[in-house]
Structure 1
């Protein structure tokens, strides 16, 4: 019996090979997209899961009235461990602030991220060097390990894991150190690195004014985290009141702490950007919708072909077949198609995977056992078979022999409404993605053309390890740089646009608030072409500029409510700064974050290191100037020596748009795939409808109907379906895109054109698809359809 059913299934699939190809092809395309989404979702939601204490690890954050941060004071880690028995361990982590050059003879390594961690943090975060984690001796010793990849760069022929002597900085710097061994850099972690420096204790001499570290805690199982969070807040407020920070009680009350689970850090950190989470949600919705649409196609076409299987079902029932047997037979046929689609989907996914990895900066592989496909695919195959096949199988197996064998069978009104309803759903989804794509494109176009308030073009950022906090130290470097033809200006600062600014507490006009700060040198504003609103900029002609002068932006003026800012005082870091100028706001953090109140100073004892060198270079002399800089860099900046590295500032700033560009690519793929699958289903459905109306078309032609009238007749019902789909999807698209636009501080107004274009595109595609299929019927000879009547 099974062999007979298999033959019938294969024969039926071959007989309807066009519909079968559409079903298998549509499912394969949808499944390939879904496979990629499943792999990406598995990857994104499993960061740090290799850590055996994954569920009990938290990062301690601080909530200020204006912002949240993971940067805290080093002494607080010890205080937490000493005061709360439910905390098993507490440790400190600190990321390196600049690129470090390491040399072994002619082999040079540029490390972008050296992670400093104390011994407790290394144990909490499962940082295990090759050969095991060793506790450094005393308070001074640090054990530095480089990643396996970095060690291969420095020591390509090294076979053991013994310590090695290396040089730091330029060849002539004379600075050496010991690399204790190698360590695997887990790229699937929130704490990635080129190397790790492990100490017995970090920040021993720091106080509560220095928020430079990240505190990681491991709590005991079954700990009430909410209660612990409140207790840590109370402790932190008490520590601030008795520390050298000298906080007042009313200030301390506005400060609290929070515990962020390790599982949150990658996708939706409490003190950070949740763009990765939104991207994952968008991708997941896309994958599910595309799979649902493909399943709808399958269901629609199976129901549409029901009449062709009616007599077969009637005969089998007369011969004694049970409904369960018939249902099983039809589900097996559907399973065969789904299985073939799955194989084809794996091939398509493998072909697309390199581009997918490049877009999302991942290293996914279909054949890696950790991606979960080995159990996800069989599950999805079974679910698709049931979703796409159970209703058609029940319809087919439920035919009444007495009716269908008389030839009076016709599909029910319920099936008719279901088919049309599913078509409406398909096109509704397609319309949402089309509208979303147009609006995302409009927002990105606005972001590329809108005035940023500064000029990143032709500005070159020089990577550097020299510290130029004193303007006198940078002046000879500036003079040498400006002698090179084509270089118009040079400056140095603690931060560059597109990066993270520092935050400190400043008081002006009787108001005390945390605002951003950037420590700069002369020509900072001129190099970036930042516009002055009133007053003046820093100048060598005024000696006080290097002592207590400050420039603030428009947002800072508004924050403090200063009416006439020039000449007024703003106090911070125990210095009374005199405001000499106000610059116009510029979008240093892109379009998603509102411009923050910011102060710019040359002298700032509480600031960071001025290492970020920026040069303004004439476009026509860019290549020549960079070549001269490279050849002369060892004499210009001796600490860097021969290691001249640079990046264009507009490329660095452009990374702020990376997630939005990814979202644009997602919606482009979604729009194309949903339209493609919907059109495939429409094509097959139109073929079925047209074939069923061949005699009606023949009679109409005999009675004088023109080709245009017949095409209009066949298009009318499909036209109505698309119009209804647009009307349903417009409100949904409006709500979704409006919420997305609201994530931007600076955005376009909701446009009307995308809604009209979506209707035009879907209507045109529908008319073209149906007309192509109907053309054969229109051009056929009426005699062929009526010769047996």
Structure 2
């Protein structure tokens, strides 16, 4: 019986090979997209899961009234360990603030991610050197390790794990150190690194003024995290009072701590941006919807084919076949199509995977051991077979023998309504994707065309390891740089306008607040073409500018409620700064975050190190100036020596748009796929409709109806369905895109054009698709359709 059913299934599929090809092709395309989404979702949600402490590791963060941060003072780690027995381990981690050059003969390694950790942090984060974790012999000693990839660059022929002597920085400095061994760097971890420096203790254990370390806790099983969080907050406030940091007891009520689990760090950190998480959810929903549309397509076409199978069902029932047997037969047919679609989907996914990896900057692979797809695909095959096939199988097996053998092959009114409803649903989803894509494009176009408040073009950021906190130290470097033709200005700062700044507490006009700070040098504002609102920029003509002068932005002026800021005092880092200028707000942190109140000073004892060199170079002379800089860099900046590296500031700033550009690409692909699948289904469905109504069309032509009237008649029902789909999708698209736009501090107003354009495009595509199919039926001779009547 099974063999007979299989033969019948194959014959039916071959007999209707056009519909079969559309079913398998549409489903394969959707499945390929879904496979890629599943791979990406699995990858993004499994960071650090190889860490045996995964479920018990937390970061200690601090809530301030204005912001949240993952950085905390080093001595607080000791206080936590001493006061809370439910904490198993406490570790400290500090990242690198500059790119360090490491050399071995002619091999050079530029490291930008060097983690400094204590032994406890290494255990918590599962950082294990190849020879095992060794505790340094004294508090001053550090054991330096490089990742396996870094070791291969420096020692390509090394086969043992013995320590090696390397050079740090420029060759002329003569600084050497020992690399104790290698560590496997897991790219699938939040703790990605070029190298790790392990010590017994980290940080000044008495300094609560600087929040420059990350504290990691490994909790014992069964700990109440919320309760511990409250106790750590109380301890932190007490420690600040004891060390006379942070203000009075009442002022400290606005400060609290939080515990952020390791599982949240990659996608939705409490003290960070959760845009990656939102984009992952959006992509996952898109993948599910595309697959659902393909299944709907499958279901719709299977129901449309029902009349062709009516006699077969009637004869089989007369011969004694049970309904269950008929359902099984039809499900086998559908299973065969789904199985073929999965094979084709894997081929398509493999072809698209390199482009997908490039877009999301990942290294995903379908064919590797341990891939979840090996158990997920059979499950998907079973699910889509049931979703796409169970209703058509019930409809087909439900025909009554007496009626169908008399010639009554029509499906029920419920099937007709369902079929049309599914088409409306398909187009509704396609319209939502289309509107979303157009609005995303508009927002990105707005972001690229808006005035940032500073000019990133023609500005080159020079990577550097020298510290220029003293303007006198940078002055000879600046003079040498400005002698090179094409370079208009040079400056140095603690931060480059392409991300986060430092944060510190300042008091002005009787108001105390945490605001951003940037340590700068002369010509900083001129190099970036930042606009002055009041007062003046820093100038060499005023000697006090290097001691206690400050420039603030408009947001800081509003934050402190200062109407006439020039000459006013703002205090921070134990210095009374005199405000000499106010600059217009400029978007250093992109469009998602509102411009933060910021202070700019030349002297900043509590700030970071001024290492970020920026040069303004004429566009026409850019290549020549950079070549000259490279040739002369060892003379200009001896500490960097021959290691001249640079980036263009506009490219660095453009990375802030990376996630949104990924979303744009994904929605573009999703819109194309959903429209293609919907049109594919519509094309096949119209073909079926015209075949069913071929006699009606012939009679209408005999009675005098023109070709245009008949085509208009057939188009009208589909035209109405597409209009209904647009009306349904508009409110949904409005809500979704409005919510997405709300994540931007600076955004476009909701445009009307995408909604109108989506309606025009879908209606035109429907009319073209239907007209192409109906044209053949309309031009056929009526006698050919009626000669047997």
Q: Normalising TM by the smaller chain, what interval?
A: over 0.9
State the match for 2:725 in structure 1: 725
Taking the TM superposition and a 5 Å limit, the aligned residue runs for 1:227-626 are 227-245=227-245, 247-626=247-626
State the match for 1:42 in structure 2: 42
Partners of 1:358 and 1:668 lie apart in 2 by 16
Query: Residues 423 and 721 of structure 1 are in contact (CA less than 8 Å); yes or no, is this contact kept in structure 2?
Result: yes
Query: How far apart are 1:244 and its partner, in Å?
Result: 4.2
Say whether residues 1:632 and 2:636 are aligned partners.
no
Query: How far apart are 1:390 and its partner, in Å?
Result: 0.3
Query: Residues 246 and 252 of structure 2 are in contact (CA less than 8 Å); yes or no, is this contact kept in structure 1?
Result: no
Query: Residues 536 and 581 of structure 1 are in contact (CA less than 8 Å); yes or no, is this contact kept in structure 2?
Result: yes
Partners of 2:632 and 2:370 lie apart in 1 by 50
Q: Secondary structure at the match of 1:146?
A: strand
Partners of 1:286 and 1:371 lie apart in 2 by 22
Query: How far apart are 1:458 and its partner, in Å?
Result: 0.3
Supply the RMSD in Å over aligned alpha carbons.
Answer: 0.7
Say whether residues 1:18 and 2:23 are aligned partners.
no
Query: How far apart are 1:206 and its partner, in Å?
Result: 4.7
Query: Residues 527 and 616 of structure 1 are in contact (CA less than 8 Å); yes or no, is this contact kept in structure 2?
Result: yes
Give the TM-score normalised by the residue count of structure 1: 1.00
Query: How far apart are 1:440 and its partner, in Å?
Result: 0.5
Give the TM-score normalised by the residue count of structure 2: 1.00
Query: Residues 499 and 590 of structure 2 are in contact (CA less than 8 Å); yes or no, is this contact kept in structure 1?
Result: no
Partners of 1:191 and 1:390 lie apart in 2 by 47
Query: How far apart are 1:234 and its partner, in Å?
Result: 0.6
State the Cα deviation string for residues 384-409 of structure 1 (Å, max 9, x = none): 00000000001111111111111112
Query: How far apart are 1:207 and its partner, in Å?
Result: 1.1
Partners of 1:202 and 1:760 lie apart in 2 by 64
Q: How many residues align?
A: 789
Say whether residues 1:112 and 2:112 are aligned partners.
yes
Query: How far apart are 1:499 and its partner, in Å?
Result: 2.4
State the match for 2:765 in structure 1: 765
Structure 1, 74-83 or 568-577: larger mean CA deviation: 74-83
Query: How far apart are 1:251 and its partner, in Å?
Result: 1.8
State the Cα deviation string for residues 38-71 of structure 1 (Å, max 9, x = none): 0000000000000111111111100000000000
Partners of 1:766 and 1:93 lie apart in 2 by 59
Query: Residues 109 and 153 of structure 2 are in contact (CA less than 8 Å); yes or no, is this contact kept in structure 1?
Result: yes
Partners of 2:676 and 2:369 lie apart in 1 by 32
Query: Residues 42 and 371 of structure 1 are in contact (CA less than 8 Å); yes or no, is this contact kept in structure 2?
Result: no
Query: How far apart are 1:136 and its partner, in Å?
Result: 1.1
State the match for 1:126 in structure 2: 126
State the Cα deviation string for residues 732-784 of structure 1 (Å, max 9, x = none): 00000001111000000000000000000000000000000111101111110
State the Cα deviation string for residues 336-378 of structure 1 (Å, max 9, x = none): 0000000000000000000000010100000123331011111
State the Cα deviation string for residues 179-199 of structure 1 (Å, max 9, x = none): 000011111111110000011
| Moved beyond 3 Å, runs of 4+ | none
Query: How far apart are 1:78 and its partner, in Å?
Result: 1.2
Partners of 1:730 and 1:247 lie apart in 2 by 52
Partners of 1:736 and 1:719 lie apart in 2 by 26
State the Cα deviation string for residues 57-97 of structure 1 (Å, max 9, x = none): 11110000000000001111111111111110010011000
State the match for 1:159 in structure 2: 159
Query: Residues 73 and 206 of structure 1 are in contact (CA less than 8 Å); yes or no, is this contact kept in structure 2?
Result: no
Partners of 1:701 and 1:206 lie apart in 2 by 96
Query: How far apart are 1:2 and its partner, in Å?
Result: 1.1
State the match for 1:191 in structure 2: 191
State the match for 2:143 in structure 1: 143
Structure 1 residues 62 and 246, CA gap change in structure 2 (3 angstroms): closer
Partners of 2:702 and 2:403 lie apart in 1 by 32
State the match for 1:170 in structure 2: 170
State the match for 1:31 in structure 2: 31
Partners of 1:53 and 1:647 lie apart in 2 by 38
Q: Secondary structure at the match of 1:405?
A: helix
Query: Residues 43 and 371 of structure 1 are in contact (CA less than 8 Å); yes or no, is this contact kept in structure 2?
Result: no
State the match for 1:688 in structure 2: 688
Query: Residues 207 and 244 of structure 1 are in contact (CA less than 8 Å); yes or no, is this contact kept in structure 2?
Result: no
Partners of 2:469 and 2:726 lie apart in 1 by 61
Q: Secondary structure at the match of 1:73?
A: coil
Partners of 2:588 and 2:420 lie apart in 1 by 51
Say whether residues 1:708 and 2:711 are aligned partners.
no
Partners of 2:112 and 2:301 lie apart in 1 by 56
Structure 1 residues 176 and 206, CA gap change in structure 2 (3 angstroms): farther
Partners of 1:616 and 1:370 lie apart in 2 by 51
Query: How far apart are 1:246 and its partner, in Å?
Result: 5.6
Q: Secondary structure at the match of 1:211?
A: coil
Q: Secondary structure at the match of 1:60?
A: strand
Q: Secondary structure at the match of 1:43?
A: helix
Partners of 1:31 and 1:726 lie apart in 2 by 26
Partners of 1:427 and 1:707 lie apart in 2 by 27
